[in-house]
Amino acid sequence: MRPIPLAAIRHLIVDMDGVLWRGSQALPGMSRFFETARSLGIRFILATNNASKSGAEYLAKLRGFGVSVTLDEVLTSPQATAAYLARHAPEARVFVIGEPGLAAELRAKGLQVVNEQPEQATHVVVGWDRALTYDKLAEACLLIRRGAAFIGTNPDVTYPSERGIVPGNGATLAALRVSTGVEPLIIGKPQPEMMRQAMARMGGSPENTAVVGDRLDTDILGGQNAGLTTILVLTGVTSLDEARDSAIRPDYIFQDIGAVADALQQANT
């Protein structure tokens, strides 16, 4: 499918880490992007693979940067995972590796989290966990080996922190994959489930929706897997040289989210 022109974009699915901020530092043009999208009537969903925070926590972080969005404009891989399980396995009893936001999203969809009684688990859901321990890995390994379904919120092997590139959830999934011989079902990018959920929220379609991200292997590939136009920014994981050398080719490349805003403004004038 050919990329749609910038002037045809009416809906955006925008990554956050490495696009809007790195750790606690806002990236250039972040506020300008939101002002431009609102003024042009472009709807957006902020869709992140980062499983460490709930949607409400992301709203609070955005407010700290002086940006106001609604909860409906945020979609995290925990939210997408919870929605998927609520639709396909509403009786699931879940052992969780992850931070409090992941368990909170699962419970919000009526799913039972059984970390205190892991022997009851029918599913193991794994998200990024900065308090990861060997005991958590061992418990998850045993459960998966006994037949519990293995689900990963997202496959990102690294995370762009303010200190630099550090291990992401994909590193945890890799440990469980090699110790169980089981491949996880991935809900987040690059699988198309999150993109489809985001488009459904906005009423978007491939003919008027684009994805903005900083990673070729999740954001850009995820957009391509959903048949969407893709926009890479160079403020996160992927460098310009990597983008030029990769088999995964974004439709547009901009230096940062501010440059995306400027291009959208120009295309609509």
* Residues taking part in catalysis: 15, 17
Residue type, 44: F
Q: How big is the CA angle at 228 (ends 8 and 149), to the nearest 5 degrees?
A: 150
- Cβ atoms of residues 94 and 120 within 8 Å: no
Phi, psi of 241 (to 5 degrees): -60, -40
Length of the chain counted residue by residue = 269
Any idea of the CA torsion for 60, 37, 26, 126, to the nearest 10 degrees?
A: 60
Reported as type and span, the H/E element at residue 22 is strand 21-22
Cα–Cα nearest to 189, from 148, 149, 235, 230 = 230
What per-residue string of b and e applies to 146-166 under the rule 16 or more CB within 10 Å gives b? eebbbbbbbbbbbbbeeeeee
Residue type, 78: P
Query: Using the 8-state DSSP alphabet, how is residue 118 labeled?
Result: G
Residue that the structure tokens 């080996």 belong to: 145
Residue that the structure tokens 């998850």 belong to: 140
